[in-house]
Amino acid sequence: MKKINFPNSLKKGDKIAIISPAGAVEASQLEKGIEMIRNRGYEPVFGEHLYSSFSKGYNYAGTVEQRINDINWALNDNEIAAVWASRGGYGCQHLLEHINLKHFKENPKWYVGYSDNTVIQGYLLKKGFASIHGQTVKTSSFGVTEESYGLIFDILEGKIPDYSLKSNHFNKTGSCEGQLVGGNLALIYALLGTDYSFKYKNRILFIEDIGENFYALDRMMMSLELAGVFKKIRGLIIGGMTNMGNEKENTAYNESFDDFAYQLISERISKYDFPTVFGFPNGHIKDNRPLIIGGNIKLEVEDKVKVEFEN
């Protein structure tokens, strides 16, 4: 397994680049996040096209070329200590073939984001670099806890989190160790069969999602099944499954940890015996606690659940 590099810890006064690699965002949506970065003692620096907009079937944060320019600037500028995505949405896949890590390799930095940013984090992992699967600068409509952001800053400053959770009735008991991969299920599914797909052998997979019909959720899980993913992984962690199904018809399922979505996932993996955690607090949820993609973890699933990252 390739050695994974953890970027250097940040120091007060360091610059954090904020970029929009996918969907368009308005300045008012980032005000709280930017102020939080300043209050923590860091200098936010904006990508040239942070607030750009380009409509082509979707409202992107600029053209493909503009978004490529911003991400390559942020990753390679030696004055930048970390890169924080403004939001997700859709569009990160456009950038994969054009990412340049020439100077990043000499001065690696944390990349922070989730949702559509899963594909950027998968790319960095294939090149040997860990990243933070955590809340974007934009605070979501359902809000984000201060602790969720605080834990991101802890990682940026060199403090690696451990988590202890209550048991979930869908859990499968057991213990395992391995490198954490994954993120948003729709993007994991979209990358299957490409050169940018995660490697799954002996890894621990994390998945979360939002706004998918239940049949689409099952289709994605079925694709992972047919691709042999569940035969390869050592463990599985499931985070938020938010606003799943047809909300108008299934209002009871409009929850962050959708019980019916969990049931579908549980049935799809029923023939496998790897330890499985349901209800991990990460995803499109208010209590969105960061995970380190590429980090090695110890996973224990018993009456209580422990997720411990190795420093």
- Same domain? 191 vs 298: yes
258: region left, alpha or beta (phi > 0 left; psi from -120 to 50 alpha):
beta
**Taking all residues of the chain, what is their mean pLDDT, rounded to a whole number?**
95
Q: Is the pLDDT of residue 251 over 70?
A: no
At 47-79, the pLDDT tens digits run 999 999 999 999 999 999 999 999 999 999 999
> What pLDDT is stored for residue 2 in this prediction?
75
What are the strands of the beta sheet with 43-46, ordered from one edge?
43-46, 15-19, 80-85, 110-113, 131-133, 291-293
Task: Tell me, yes or no, whether 7 lies in a domain.
Answer: no
Q: Is the pLDDT of residue 196 over 90?
A: yes
- Same domain? 79 vs 113: yes
pLDDT band at 191 (very low <50, low <70, confident <90, very high): very high
At position 285, the amino acid (one-letter code) is: I
- Same domain? 138 vs 211: no
> What pLDDT is stored for residue 252 in this prediction?
46
H-state helical runs in 26-101: 31-39, 64-76
Task: Tell me, yes or no, whether 6 lies in a domain.
Answer: no
Task: Tell me, yes or no, whether 1 lies in a domain.
Answer: no
pLDDT band at 255 (very low <50, low <70, confident <90, very high): low
What are the strands of the beta sheet with 204-210, ordered from one edge?
162-166, 304-309, 296-301, 174-184, 204-210, 235-242, 276-278
- Same domain? 55 vs 144: yes
- Same domain? 35 vs 151: yes
- Same domain? 76 vs 205: no
> What pLDDT is stored for residue 92 in this prediction?
98
Task: Tell me, yes or no, whether 10 lies in a domain.
Answer: no
- Same domain? 47 vs 174: no
As a whole number of angstroms, the longest Cα–Cα distance in the chain is 53
Q: What is the mean pLDDT of residues 185-204?
A: 98
Give me the CATH number covering residue 273. 3.50.30.60
At 102-140, the pLDDT tens digits run 999 999 999 999 999 999 999 999 999 999 999 999 987
Q: Is the pLDDT of residue 181 over 50?
A: yes
> Of 126, 156, 186, which residue sits at a domain end?
156
Task: Tell me, yes or no, whether 5 lies in a domain.
Answer: no
- Same domain? 35 vs 136: yes
- % of the chain with per-residue pLDDT over 90: 92
Task: Tell me, yes or no, whether 213 lies in a domain.
Answer: yes
- Same domain? 152 vs 187: no
Q: Which structural domain, as residue segments, surrounds residue 99? A: 15-156
Give the three-class secondary structure for 190: helix
- Same domain? 109 vs 175: no
- Same domain? 104 vs 169: no
- Same domain? 143 vs 201: no
In the structure encoding, which two tokens stand for residue 91, read together?
């569009």
Q: Is the pLDDT of residue 250 over 50?
A: no
> Of 115, 133, 156, which residue sits at a domain end?
156
Number of domains in the chain: 2
At 155-179, the pLDDT tens digits run 999 999 999 999 999 999 999 999 9
Task: Tell me, yes or no, whether 187 lies in a domain.
Answer: yes
> What pLDDT is stored for residue 311 in this prediction?
66
- % of the chain with per-residue pLDDT over 70: 96
> Of 122, 156, 190, which residue sits at a domain end?
156
